[in-house]
């Protein structure tokens, strides 16, 4: 059994690698730091990786994990690419690719734990790996790949009820990006909220975040913990972001990470409510309002709402299962009639 599981995940990892590489390589290959387009944050993260105080120090200093890992990979990348900008972009690509690959495998584990067949779960992985958002955050010097990886791992551990691993993982996942903090509250929607171990881990996670943010702030010349003040500062923008969301441009931005998968998810949610195909746990469902709230706060609708991918992809696969299940049953019935 252990051998079969290892072989399955080896294949899942290989297929996920192929999909990610095919979808993201062009984004990395033609990304230009001098003309970052919609990925202007990349400039600040590259500065951090090079040990330079980022020009947007107040907003970037607590997102140190990915730039630090990229700085460690940098010397190896320099042996492959002589140009400094290409080398540092390659270093970020390697780090972000590893995070996105881990996210794919964790998403597969979550979907199969929910009862989806392996091939259907792989289709869900394909929805994640080929998303415009995944392509952007993997192929450019951004930090969101670590953030989505943290969400994927967190969702799997909650669904699988892996309490011990969840307690160990939370203080590490908090280092990915400050927006993971509200997701760490998702276990409160499960019986895990009665576990003293969960509260110890949650407390430790907040302490780790505060300490890492403070120390990173000292390194970059500020001692503030800006995540809370930044959230408050963004509250006045919620009304404007909400108005933009109901426009064609706003809706297009909101669904940009999911495309048609979002429509399939809406249909799948209705079908699941009607037929009870899958018991989607409350913490997975709750990723939708959490991600939506973060999108309203930030104004970056598409990238922030993509954090709801565990629920959106799961519900979309319910729709796929419903349609393909009908087709299989009809095919089987037609075969029975033909033999008769």
* Structure-model confidence comparison of residues 241 and 106, the more confident one: 106
pLDDT at 27 over 50: yes
pLDDT at 337 over 50: no
Report the sign of the C-alpha dihedral through residues 175, 177, 182, 185, in that order.
negative
pLDDT at 157 over 60: yes
The residue among 120, 129, 92, 116 whose CA lies nearest residue 17 is 129
pLDDT tier at 92, thresholds 50, 70, 90: very high
Structural domain span for residue 274: 2-186+195-339
pLDDT at 279 over 60: yes
The predicted-structure confidence for 168-205, as pLDDT tens digits, reads as follows 999 999 999 989 999 999 999 999 889 999 999 999 99
At residue 340, the pLDDT reads 47
**Alpha helices, DSSP H only, in the chain?**
2-29, 41-49, 57-60, 65-80, 84-113, 118-129, 132-139, 144-159, 163-173, 196-220, 226-234, 238-245, 248-254, 260-275, 282-285, 287-298, 301-305, 309-339
Least confident interval from 60-64, 78-82, 204-208, 333-337:
333-337
The residue among 285, 240, 242 whose CA lies nearest residue 114 is 285
The predicted-structure confidence for 203-238, as pLDDT tens digits, reads as follows 999 999 888 888 877 777 665 555 555 555 556 667
Cα distance between residue 151 and residue 265, in whole Å: 19
Which residues pair with residue 32 across a beta bridge?
A: 35
Share of the chain above pLDDT 90, in %: 61
Number of domains in the chain: 1
pLDDT tier at 328, thresholds 50, 70, 90: very low
The token pair at 194 is 């009665």
Tokens 């430790």 label which residue?
Answer: 204
At residue 327, the pLDDT reads 47
At residue 57, the pLDDT reads 58
Other Cβ atoms less than 10 A from the Cβ of 149: the count is 24
Q: What is the mean pLDDT of the chain?
A: 87
């Amino acid at each position: 059994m252990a051998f079969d599981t290892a072989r399955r995940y080896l294949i899942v990892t290989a297929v996920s690698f192929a999909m990610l590489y095919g979808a993201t390589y062009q984004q990395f290959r033609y990304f230009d730091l001098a003309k970052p387009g919609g990925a202007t944050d990349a400039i600040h993260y590259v500065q951090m990786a090079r040990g330079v105080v980022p020009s947007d120090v107040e907003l970037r200093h607590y997102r140190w994990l990915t730039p630090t890992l990229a700085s460690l990979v940098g010397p190896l990348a320099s042996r492959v690419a002589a140009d400094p900008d290409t080398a540092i972009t390659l270093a970020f690509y390697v780090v972000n690719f590893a995070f996105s690959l881990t996210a794919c495998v964790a998403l597969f584990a979550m979907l199969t734990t929910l009862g989806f067949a392996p091939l259907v779960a792989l289709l869900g992985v394909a929805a994640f790996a080929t998303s415009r958002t995944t392509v952007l955050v993997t192929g450019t010097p951004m930090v969101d790949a670590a953030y989505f990886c943290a969400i994927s791992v967190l969702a799997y551990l909650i669904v699988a009820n892996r309490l011990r691993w969840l307690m160990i993982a939370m203080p590490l996942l908090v280092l990915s990006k400050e927006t993971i903090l509200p997701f760490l509250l998702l276990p409160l929607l499960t019986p895990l909220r009665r576990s003293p171990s969960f509260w110890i881990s949650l407390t430790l996670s907040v302490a780790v975040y505060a300490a890492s943010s403070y120390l990173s702030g000292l390194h970059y010349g500020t001692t503030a913990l800006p995540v809370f003040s930044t959230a408050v500062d963004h509250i006045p923008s919620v009304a404007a972001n909400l108005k933009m969301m109901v426009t064609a441009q706003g809706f297009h931005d909101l669904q940009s990470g999911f495309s048609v998968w979002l429509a399939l998810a809406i249909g799948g949610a209705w079908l699941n409510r009607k037929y009870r195909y899958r018991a989607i746990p409350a913490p997975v469902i709750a990723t939708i309002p959490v991600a939506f709230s973060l999108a309203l706060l930030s104004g970056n609708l598409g990238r922030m709402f993509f954090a709801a991918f565990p629920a959106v992809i799961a519900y979309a696969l319910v729709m796929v299962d419903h349609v393909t299940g009908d087709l299989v049953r009809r095919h089987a019935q037609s075969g029975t009639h033909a033999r008769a």
